[in-house]
Amino acid sequence: MDQLQIFSPATVANVSCGYDAMAFALESLGDEMTFRKNDLGKTRIVKIEGADLPFESNKNVAAAVAKRMLQDAGANFGVDIEIVKKYKPGSGLGSSAASGAGAAFAINQLLNNRYTKLEQLKYAMFGEEVACGSQIADNVAAALYGGFVLIRSYEPLDIVSIPTPSQLFVTVIHPQIEIKTEDARNILPKEIPMKTAISQWANVGGLIAGLHSSDYDLIGRSLTDHVVEPYRKKFIPHFDALKRAALDHGALGAGISGSGPSVFALVKGAEMAEKIAAAFNEVYKDSAIDYRIYTSGIAKTGITLSNE
Ligand code: ADP
């Protein structure tokens, strides 16, 4: 195989109660990427469409991941990479993760499946370090594994795939404002009361049980975040109105996607996803902020090969 084209999904991390421990992948929003072997022995980004991103191979996540994998494998070829971004970086929808996980998946294919999934994940996590300074697993794990994932442990790295109920859909609104990762981190308390912790892990258990048994009501009841949302929602204009609109119109639950500014709602059925999209639109239509709204199924398999 000398060339391949892939689709690498957008991802929603945290999923309300699962701060830094849960994420899921979207079926119909993500990046298209092409990887082509070259005999220069170099990793090059040759095209970026849809976003203003670095071309340097130590700054662009896709190139950094590819370069390291090829080096570690002692490969006798280089790679030319094309990236077509379908949504903006900095959205809270795992833009760097889509690139990093996409590169890990594709380079593994070009190396005839040399690496296990967990090894690919570790390379993708290195990509997250390039993007944001730390090796966070949630978005990249969701992109690589698909569906819902639980990061049960970092040492050792333990990723648990959670089944996705067939009628689960998601609506996302991306208000196009910038939230600095530093601000989003700094606003969180360093410690939380025991009572808060108990309700949080009870909800994570409820969410996992609901996903396993396709109990949509239980999923909805569990999409409650006592730890992060009360602080971070201040950064997102009209957050309370968006959440109220989602719940009033029949969403199972709603919350902040990653560290924001995107807001997601999980819903039962494709029609409901459209209804919530309209409700989100009502909240934002008169605001001065630019925004995009997406509806999608949950990606069952993560990154996929496109037709070449
Ligand atoms: P979000 O998860 O909010 O979409 P990220 O945390 O993924 O955003 O961060 C995007 C950051 O990563 C930007 O600063 C961007 O310049 C950097 N970056 C480097 N390479 C890439 C890439 N290939 N795709 C996306 N972002 C990249």
Q: Which residues surround ligand 1 with Cβ inside 6 Å?
A: 53-54, 60-62, 83, 89-97, 99, 131-132, 258
- Write down the catalytic residue from 82, 119, 129, 181: 181
- Dist. CA 24–CA 192, nearest whole Å: 25
CA 126 and chain centroid, separation: 16
- Write down the catalytic residue from 27, 32, 128, 229: 128
3-state secondary structure of 300: coil
Query: Which sign does the torsion angle of CA 46, 12, 286, 282 carry?
Result: positive
- Dist. CA 17–CA 230, nearest whole Å: 12
pLDDT, tens digit, for every residue of 132-144? 999 999 999 999 9
The pLDDT confidence band at residue 270, using thresholds 50, 70 and 90, is very high
Max Cα-Cα span within the chain: 59
Strands (E), 131-256: 148-154, 157-162, 168-175, 253-256
**Binding-site positions for ATP:** 88-98
pLDDT, tens digit, for every residue of 141-182? 999 999 999 999 999 999 999 999 999 999 999 999 999 888
Two structure tokens written together for 230? 């009360």
- Dist. CA 103–CA 106, nearest whole Å: 5
Contact (CB, 8 A) for 126 and 135: yes
CB count within 10 Å of CB 40 equals 11
Two structure tokens written together for 132? 């944001």
Distances (CA, A) of 81 to 105, 122, 144, 225: 13, 20, 18, 39
Helices (H) and strands (E) in the chain, counts: 10, 11
Q: Is 182 designated active site?
A: no
Q: What is the pTM of this model?
A: 0.97
Contact (CB, 8 A) for 22 and 266: no
Q: Which domains does the chain have, with CATH numbers?
A: 3-163+300-305 (3.30.230.10), 168-297 (3.30.70.890)
pLDDT, tens digit, for every residue of 20-31? 999 999 999 999
For atom 2 of ligand 1, which residue has the closest CA?
Answer: 94
For residue 156, whether the previous peptide bond is cis, meaning omega lies within 30 degrees of 0, is yes
In the prediction, which pLDDT does 181 show? Answer: 80
Q: Is 128 designated active site?
A: yes
In the prediction, which pLDDT does 1 show? Answer: 85
For residue 191, the CA-to-ligand 1 centroid distance in Å is 29
- Dist. CA 302–CA 197, nearest whole Å: 31
Phi-psi region at 193: left, alpha or beta (left = phi > 0; alpha = psi -120 to 50): beta
